[in-house]
Every structure is written in C-alpha cells, then in structure tokens.
Amino acid sequence: MRVSTGTLHQTTLQHLRASQARLARLQSQIASGRRIERPSDDAAGTIQGMGARGALRARAQWSSNLVLARQHAQATETSLGAAADMVAEARLLATRADASQSAEAMAALARQVDGLLAGLLDEANRAQDGARLFGGSDTRGAPVEALRDEAGRMTGVTAASRAPEGRLLRQVGEGTLLGVNTSAEEAFGPGLELLTHLIALRDALEAGDAAAAAELQPLLDRDLERVAVAQAVGGVLARRLDHLEERLAQEEMRLEAARSQFEDLDIAQAVMDYQEEQTVLEAALTLSGRLLELTLARYLQ
C-alpha cells in the first residue's frame, strides 16, 4: 500500500504535537511536584488522594484534641498532688492538737488549717488555659463556691449550680470520645466533704476542742486516700493518651504515604521520562525535516 507524502506529514505532525504536550505536562509536573494537577489527569487517583487527605485532616484534629487532653490531665495531676500535700499537712496538724496545748497554740494551728483551706479552694477551682480542671463539662465558671460570713471567713462550700458532674469529652478517634476530667466531687468527696472537714478542723482548733480534732483524723485519712485514687486514675489516663498518640502517629504516617503515592510525583522517574521524551521529540523533528527535504526535492523535479 502506497502512503502519500501528505499522510506522512500529517502523521509526523500529530506525533510532534503529542510529544510536545507530554513534555509540557512533565515539565509542569516536575515544577509542581504533583503527579495529579487536575482531576482529569487521574480520576481514580484524585478520589483516593482526596480520601487520604480527609482522613489526615480528621487525625490532625484528633491529635490536637490529644494535646489538649494531655495538658488537662497533667495540670489535674499536679493540682491533685498539691491538694494531697495540703490534706497530709492538715492531718498532721490535727494530730498535734491535744489537751496540753495552750489556747494560743491551738489558735496558731487553726490559722494554719485556715491557710490550707484557702489553698484547697484554689486547687478545686484551678484552671488550665482558662478551663477549670474540676468543672466537669462546664469549664468556664468556678465549680466550688465558698460560703463566707460578714468577716469574709469561710463557713462552708457548695458545688456550683451548673451541673459540674458532667464529663469533659474529647474526640480522639473514629467514634472514640474520651473523658479527660476529674470532677470536684470525685476529687474532694460527695458534697465536697474534704473542704467541709477542714472547716470543721479549723473550728475545733479555734474552740480548743482536741477531742473533735481527733475525731476528724480518720475522715482526713479517707479524704487523702480519695485524692490519691483520683491521682492514680489520672496516671492511667496519661498512659492511655500515650498509647492513642502513638497509634495516631502511625496512622498519619500510613495515610501520608498513601496520599503521596496517589498525588505526589516521583521526581527522579519524571526527569528520566522528560529526557526520553525530549529524545523522541528530537527524532520526530529530524524525521519531519527529512520529509520536508524529500517533498521539496520532488517538487523541484
């Protein structure tokens, strides 16, 4: 079958245009570092890449929630440690009260307990970055309110009326909500009895009632144990957060590798392809030139 010179020219021109288009695309990909620059480049890869990026965004948010949860847990553990120290000191002061103490000595012990009481109230209302540690689901307002007499002396405490027992939940995984807080009553007892016991101890010492102070000692032991348990629960939470953080990091690495496989360009391979395509284009240009010479020679004959 005889092929006309015009057909050869047309075919060569099509190859030239296709080669130039491939070179332009490779050049653009190398400049951007992306394998897929528009959905039409690879529809299936685009969908898979979008899915991987969506999953990465979700995990980035969960990682951020884990950071907040860790900060809250660490601050809670520190606060409970300070509270435990104050309860232990109050327990020691209670043991020093006996009938042989003078009224002045008992009053001095009462003042020390009053200082510890103020410190415990501060810890009960402690905040981390504006969020109350023991405020339950409502982290804005103080979870514990002090009742005071006209002189400003603390006479009682009450839980805030904003339902402070709710859980502070953080999403740390697909369908995984983690409670990261300790409520005021979990740490300080039903009805905030730890603070109530310190008020009673202070009043007993002020009255010189050594027997009443002695009766409060086992209650303070129980209060101290409760605070220690709350601390231990915080330690368990911290270990779980470590595990979740490690798992999320692994998932993020896997998803990033998948996203990169779908969307990112293998630069080394692309450069090789570009060089090969340049060779093809140069060969096509050479062939086109020879065809033009042949056509011209025939025309001149």
**pLDDT by residue (tens digit) across 74-89?**
899 999 999 999 999 9
Band of pLDDT at residue 271, cut at 50, 70 and 90: low
Asked whether the beta carbons of 206 and 104 are under 8 A apart, the reply is no
Residue 234 pLDDT > 70, yes or no?
Answer: yes
Share of the chain above pLDDT 90, in %: 31
Rounded to the nearest integer, the mean pLDDT of the chain is 80
Q: Which parts of 125-176 fold into alpha helices (H)?
A: none
Q: How many CB atoms within 10 Å of residue 135? A: 25
51-257: CATH superfamily: f41 fragment of flagellin, N-terminal domain (1.20.1330.10)
Asked whether the beta carbons of 214 and 84 are under 8 A apart, the reply is no
Give the model confidence (pLDDT) of 56-72 as tens digits: 888 888 888 898 888 88
Q: What is the largest CA-CA distance in the chain?
A: 138
Share of the chain above pLDDT 70, in %: 70
Residue 30 pLDDT > 50, yes or no?
Answer: yes
Most confident listed range (222-231, 240-249, 277-286): 222-231
Q: What is the pLDDT of residue 161?
A: 57
Asked whether the beta carbons of 194 and 226 are under 8 A apart, the reply is yes
Q: How far apart are CA 141 and CA 143, in angstroms?
A: 6
Owner of token pair 């709350």: 230
Predicted TM-score of the model (pTM): 0.71
Q: How far apart are CA 132 and CA 237, in angstroms?
A: 18
Reference 185, options 206, 165, 201; nearest CA is 165
Owner of token pair 């951020």: 64
Residue 170 pLDDT > 80, yes or no?
Answer: yes
User: Which one-letter amino acid corresponds to residue 176?
Assistant: T
- On the CB side of 173, CA atoms within 13 Å amount to 14
- The pLDDT of 196-204, averaged and rounded, is 96
Q: How far apart are CA 32 and CA 28, in angstroms?
A: 6
Q: What is the pLDDT of residue 257?
A: 79
Asked whether the beta carbons of 30 and 270 are under 8 A apart, the reply is yes
- 185 or 256: whose pLDDT is higher? 185
- The pLDDT of 10-21, averaged and rounded, is 66
Q: What is the pLDDT of residue 269?
A: 64
Domain ranges of the chain: 14-35+266-301, 51-257
Owner of token pair 């000191």: 89
